[in-house]
Amino acid sequence: MAPAAPVPGTGSGPGPNPDPDPDAGSGPVRDPLPDPLRDPWRDAMRLALDEADAAGPAGDVPVGAVVLGPDGKVLARAHNEREAAGDPTAHAEVLALRRAAAATGEWRLTGCTLVVTLEPCVMCAGALVQSRVERVVFGALDEKAGAAGSLWDLVRDRRLNHRPEVIHGVLGEECARQLTAFFRDR
Ligand SMILES: [Zn+2]
């Protein structure tokens, strides 16, 4: 049979060929491979990145955190307010956990997930264990002070009776870039 006329519905008349170019994947920009472990947390990490932006005006290191309920809905969001509040404990994670607990009326955040742009420090890792969150998701590693795998692994210490699941590297490069830009521009 001779080739048929153009198949209807594949384009809107004359113009660029809508068919994908078989060579399109050979350029410098490629879609990353699907990552079933990290991809589900990308949207929440974008919220955390937006939240981190709000820390800048007060001179706070841009770290943002979001707490998701068991159903995936956003319960709370917070950014680092150490400078803004003059409070050494006002890290994004601690503030987000407090706000999530206030929103639910319950200190136990069973089934919840905390998503944060930077690996938690020792204080925040402790607060995460205390809050009984089910999962901690973070973006950039903090090799100088991280307590979720880098320098310590407090959240997964076998001596503790509650150990949240840890997923790292969600939008990790973006999270690291945001921090690098802050320190470069100071
Ligand atoms: Zn912290």
The three-class DSSP label of residue 67 is strand
Mean pLDDT throughout 56-68? 96
The three-class DSSP label of residue 126 is helix
The three-class DSSP label of residue 42 is helix
On whether 112 is known to bind a ligand per the annotation, the reply is: no
User: In this model, does residue 18 exceed pLDDT 50?
Assistant: no
Q: What is the pLDDT of residue 28?
A: 59
d(CA 37, CA 134): 15
d(CA 1, ligand 1 centre) in Å: 69
d(CA 147, ligand 1 centre) in Å: 9
Q: What is the pLDDT of residue 22?
A: 46
- pTM beyond 0.85, yes or no: no
CA 105, 146, 180, 73 torsion: positive or negative?
negative
Q: Residues 93, 106, 119, 173: which is the catalytic one?
A: 93
More confident residue, 20 or 93: 93
In the chain, the amino acid numbered 15 is G
On whether 121 is known to bind a ligand per the annotation, the reply is: yes
pLDDT confidence band for 161 (50 / 70 / 90): confident
Q: What is the pLDDT of residue 29?
A: 63
Token representation of residue 93: 């994670």
Q: In what order do the strands lie in the sheet with 135-140?
A: 74-79, 64-68, 113-118, 135-140, 165-168
From 84, 82, 114, select the one nearest 98 (Cα to Cα). 114
CA 11, 15, 21, 26 torsion: positive or negative?
negative
Q: What is the pLDDT of residue 149?
A: 96
On whether 124 is known to bind a ligand per the annotation, the reply is: yes
Determine whether 93 is an active site residue.
yes
d(CA 119, ligand 1 centre) in Å: 8
- Judged by average pLDDT, the poorest of 9-23, 57-71, 81-95 is 9-23
d(CA 73, ligand 1 centre) in Å: 23
